[in-house]
């Protein structure tokens, strides 16, 4: 726990880290408390003329169906955050397990895992995802499992690369000579030393997964209407962009500020942990 506090302190020590953490925290808190804060029901329609701009009652105006844009924007990130947070967690857990396993055992196990990874990387993930959603529906659990699986593939490669730097160290050899089990060596000797790389990697994965989820919603596969969602809001209102910019701009601002926040945090995290962001190797 103390280590986590130290890491947060390191992130907050930089200016980009401060901005990033504030943005991310804002979005997380908003997602939790928004249902009690919103001024209107998300699907309540107003009788006033559609495409109405900002007014005293509706601060961000109304969309084509006369629904309050501010309300929908405040609620629009909830499902995206839920799915991507659990999806990232899943991706990092299974990805780092197989990555560390491949890196530590090497030989045939390594070959098997890495060639399987290559095969999955060769499949266009968007098409595969559409196939899964078409067959199993778009329930959050389905989205978490599919996104978590696909984004874990990159984590395998990353974790393996980081492990290869650690396995040659004498303390791993010492544990092996002591007669430690494979799982114990992976958990006690290797994992703590690739942790920094994995943390930066998960932050990056999270922001990519958010974009992917919004893209799916934009295409109509992510969230079922009338549930508010940023990607879906942009898709529904974009044809009226010239007439009514607010229903498009608000979810765009929300989504970008969250993505920027995550990226700034990841940058600061990489800097304070001494991980090179582009190669994600320890420097």
Question: Interface with another protein by CB under 8 A: which residues?
Answer: 169-171, 173-180, 188-189, 192-193, 195
- Pick the closest to residue 83 from 125, 140, 29 (CA basis): 140
CB of 170 to another protein, least distance (A): 4
Question: Which H helix or E strand runs over 205?
Answer: helix 191-218
Of residues 127 and 170, the one with the C-beta less far from another protein = 170
| Count of C-beta atoms within a 10 Å radius of residue 126 | 14
CB of 6 to another protein, least distance (A): 12
- How far is residue 274's CA from residue 283's CA, in Å, rounded to a whole number? 6
Q: Is the peptide bond before 82 cis (omega within 30 degrees of 0)?
A: no
Of residues 13 and 139, the one with the C-beta less far from another protein = 13
Of residues 41 and 276, the one with the C-beta less far from another protein = 276
CB of 108 to another protein, least distance (A): 12
CB of 191 to another protein, least distance (A): 9
CB of 273 to another protein, least distance (A): 12
Of residues 190 and 212, the one with the C-beta less far from another protein = 190
DSSP letter at 187? I
CB of 211 to another protein, least distance (A): 33
Whose tokens are 């508010």? That residue is 228
- Reading the block at residue 150, the tokens are 């696909």
Of residues 106 and 220, the one with the C-beta less far from another protein = 106
- Pick the closest to residue 250 from 117, 62, 116, 83 (CA basis): 62
Of residues 50 and 180, the one with the C-beta less far from another protein = 180
Question: Dihedral through CA 195, CA 201, CA 202, CA 206, nearest 10?
Answer: 170
| Count of C-beta atoms within a 10 Å radius of residue 122 | 7
């Amino acid at each position: 726990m103390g280590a986590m506090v130290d890491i947060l302190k390191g992130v907050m020590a930089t200016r980009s880290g401060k901005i990033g953490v504030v943005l991310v925290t804002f979005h997380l808190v908003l997602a939790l408390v928004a249902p009690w804060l919103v001024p209107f029901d998300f699907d309540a329609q107003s009788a006033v003329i559609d495409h109405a701009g900002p007014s005293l009652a509706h601060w961000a105006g109304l969309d084509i169906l006369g629904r309050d844009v501010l309300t929908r924007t405040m609620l629009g990130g909830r499902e995206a955050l839920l799915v991507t947070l659990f999806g990232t967690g899943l991706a990092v857990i299974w990805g780092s397990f197989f990555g560390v396993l491949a890196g530590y055992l090497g030989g045939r196990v390594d070959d098997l895992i890495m060639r399987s990874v290559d095969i999955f990387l060769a499949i266009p993930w968007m098409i595969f995802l559409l196939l899964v959603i078409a067959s199993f529906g778009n329930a959050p659990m389905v989205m978490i499992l599919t996104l978590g699986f696909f984004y874990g593939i990159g984590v395998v490669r990353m974790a393996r690369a980081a492990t290869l730097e650690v396995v040659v160290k004498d303390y791993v050899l010492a544990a092996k000579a002591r007669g430690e089990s494979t799982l114990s060596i992976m958990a006690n000797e290797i994992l703590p030393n690739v942790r920094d790389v994995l943390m930066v990697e998960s932050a990056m994965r999270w922001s990519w997964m958010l974009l992917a989820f919004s893209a799916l919603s934009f295409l109509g596969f992510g969230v079922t209407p009338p549930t508010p969602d940023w990607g879906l809001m942009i898709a529904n209102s974009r044809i009226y962009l010239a007439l009514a910019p607010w229903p498009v701009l608000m979810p765009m601002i929300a989504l970008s500020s969250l993505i920027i926040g995550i990226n700034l945090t990841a940058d600061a995290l990489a800097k304070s942990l001494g991980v090179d962001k582009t190669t994600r190797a320890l420097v």
